[in-house]
């Protein structure tokens, strides 16, 4: 089921959907349906072009990130525990000495900042691995090493290394939170991911306080280049659409609070 979900999601993204429409157009053209085939091809190109525009990419990401203030950790209230979600550090093969940091590694830095600022004594590190990645260290293990290097003592770090998605992040972290008797929770993840993560934690009874990191969209002057297709803009748009699609699916399944 996990593989099927991933496949269906890929087909819903701009690149996957545009390629599917382009293949459909070729089939229709081959069958002599020139008008219908031409329309499908035009829609495929237009859809891909739209989400490749930096101005569009920034707008759709800001619609998620703009729900939260980009503030210093000193401005957030104290809590019992900081929960930091995986997605920023890659679980490396077991014979590699160090993991690779991903674009969202600011999540780990933010958790370390919060601990050093005295916002919570404990940290829960949530992140497992995917079955198709082979025998790799769980992401929680990789994050644990990075947090230790950032000066957070190992004895205050609680690992949750089973989760494979945001739903499982919330379920398994909630088990630890309740087992330890924690009441006030600071939730750290990327600002783009925070709406879905926060709704998912609230659906399992954890009314966490958001502490977003990894804000991406910055004020940009108006420029013609922002209306020219860009490969990175397509990647960024896809990640934002993934969050909207994920939030819709989670709410439909009852996994996210409305």
One domain, residues 119 and 101: yes
Q: What pairs with residue 122 in β-bridges?
A: 81
Q: Look at strands 185-188 and 157-160 and give their pairing.
A: unpaired
Q: What is the pLDDT of residue 97?
A: 81
Domain that holds residue 10: 2-65+231-253
Is 38 within the bounds of a domain?
A: yes
One domain, residues 89 and 196: yes
Could you give the C-alpha distances from 159 to 89, 126, 155, in angstroms and in order?
Answer: 14, 6, 11
Q: What is the pLDDT of residue 92?
A: 72
The pTM is what? 0.90
One domain, residues 97 and 41: no
One domain, residues 135 and 189: yes
Is 258 within the bounds of a domain?
A: no
One domain, residues 53 and 144: no
Q: What is the pLDDT of residue 76?
A: 96
The count of domains in the chain is 2
pLDDT digits (tens, 9 = 90+) for 62-114: 999 999 999 999 999 999 999 999 988 877 777 788 888 888 999 999 999 99
Is 218 within the bounds of a domain?
A: no
One domain, residues 200 and 107: yes
Is 225 within the bounds of a domain?
A: no
Q: What is the pLDDT of residue 7?
A: 61
| For the chain, percent of residues with pLDDT exceeding 70 | 94
One domain, residues 82 and 146: yes
One domain, residues 79 and 17: no
* Sheet with 185-188, edge to edge strand ranges: 157-160, 122-126, 81-85, 185-188, 209-210
Is 113 within the bounds of a domain?
A: yes
CB 110 within 8 A of CB 213: yes
CATH label of the domain that carries residue 172: 3.40.50.620
One domain, residues 37 and 118: no
pLDDT digits (tens, 9 = 90+) for 161-193: 999 999 999 999 999 999 999 999 999 999 999
């Amino acid at each position: 089921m996990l593989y099927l979900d991933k496949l269906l999601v890929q087909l819903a993204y701009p690149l996957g959907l545009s390629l599917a429409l382009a293949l459909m157009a070729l089939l229709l053209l081959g069958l002599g349906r020139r008008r219908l085939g031409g329309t499908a091809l035009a829609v495929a190109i237009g859809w891909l072009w739209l989400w490749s525009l930096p101005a569009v990419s920034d707008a759709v990401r800001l619609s998620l990130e703009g729900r939260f203030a980009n503030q210093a950790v000193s401005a957030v209230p104290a809590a019992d525990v900081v929960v930091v979600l995986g997605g920023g550090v890659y679980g490396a093969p077991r014979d590699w000495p160090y993991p690779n940091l991903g674009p969202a590694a600011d999540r780990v830095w933010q958790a370390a900042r919060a601990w050093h600022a005295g916002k919570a004594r404990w940290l829960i590190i949530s992140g497992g691995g995917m079955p198709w990645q082979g025998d790799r260290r769980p992401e929680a293990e990789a994050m644990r090493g990075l947090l230790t290097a950032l000066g957070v003592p190992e004895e205050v770090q609680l690992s949750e290394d089973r989760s494979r998605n945001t739903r499982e992040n919330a379920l398994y972290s909630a088990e630890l939170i309740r087992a330890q008797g924690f009441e006030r929770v600071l939730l750290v993840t990327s600002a783009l991911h925070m709406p879905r993560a926060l709704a998912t934690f609230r659906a399992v009874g954890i009314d966490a306080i958001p502490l977003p990191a990894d804000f991406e969209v910055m004020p940009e002057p108006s420029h013609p280049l922002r209306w020219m297709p860009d490969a990175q803009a397509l990647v960024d748009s896809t990640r934002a659409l993934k969050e909207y699609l994920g939030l819709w699916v989670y709410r439909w399944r009852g996994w996210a609070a409305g």
